[in-house]
Chain A
Amino acid sequence: KAGVTQTPRYLIKTRGQQVTLSCSPISGHRSVSWYQQTPGQGLQFLFEYFSETQRNKGNFPGRFSGRQFSNSRSEMNVSTLELGDSALYLCASSLGAMGNTGELFFGEGSRLTVL
Chain B
Amino acid sequence: QKEVEQNSGPLSVPEGAIASLNCTYSDRGSQSFFWYRQYSGKSPELIMSIYSNGDKEDGRFTAQLNKASQYVSLLIRDSQPSDSATYLCAATAVGYQKVTFGIGTKLQVIP
Contacts from A to B (Cβ < 8 Å): 31, 33, 35, 41-43, 45, 48, 50, 55-56, 58, 90, 96, 98-99, 101-109
User: Pick the contact of A43 from B32, B33, B49, B88 — CB < 8 Å?
Assistant: B88
Whether A107 and B43, one on each chain, are in contact in the complex, defined by CB atoms closer than 8 angstroms, is yes
Interchain Cβ contacts under 8 Å between A and B, 6 examples = A35-B101, A56-B96, A98-B94, A101-B97, A104-B46, A108-B42
Whether B103 and A101, one on each chain, are in contact in the complex, defined by CB atoms closer than 8 angstroms, is no
Find chain B residues with CB under 8 A from A43 CB: 44, 88, 101, 104
Q: Is B99 positioned at the interface, with any CB of A under 8 Å from its CB?
A: yes
Find chain A residues with CB under 8 A from B103 CB: 41-42
Find chain B residues with CB under 8 A from A105 CB: 46
Considering the complex, give the chain A residue whose CB is closest to the CB of B103. A42
Find chain B residues with CB under 8 A from A99 CB: 94
Q: Is B45 positioned at the interface, with any CB of A under 8 Å from its CB?
A: yes
A50 to B94, CA, bound (A): 16
User: Pick the contact of B43 from A50, A96, A108 — CB < 8 Å?
Assistant: A108
Considering the complex, give the chain A residue whose CB is closest to the CB of B92. A102
Q: How many residues of B contact A (CB 8 A)?
A: 25
Q: Is B91 positioned at the interface, with any CB of A under 8 Å from its CB?
A: yes
Q: Shortest CB–CB separation between residue B9 and chain A, in angstroms? A: 13
A21 to B88, CA, bound (A): 24
Q: A98-B94, A101-B96 are in contact. Are A106 and B32 (CB under 8 A)?
A: no
Whether B100 and A106, one on each chain, are in contact in the complex, defined by CB atoms closer than 8 angstroms, is no
User: Pick the contact of A109 from B32, B43, B45, B95 — CB < 8 Å?
Assistant: B43
User: Pick the contact of A102 from B42, B99, B102 — CB < 8 Å?
Assistant: B99
Chain B stretch 23-54: residues in CB contact (< 8 A) with chain A: 32-34, 36, 42-46, 49
Q: Is B90 positioned at the interface, with any CB of A under 8 Å from its CB?
A: yes
Q: Shortest CB–CB separation between residue B3 and chain A, in angstroms? A: 10
Whether B102 and A42, one on each chain, are in contact in the complex, defined by CB atoms closer than 8 angstroms, is yes
Q: Shortest CB–CB separation between residue B41 and chain A, in angstroms? A: 9
A99 to B92, CA, bound (A): 10
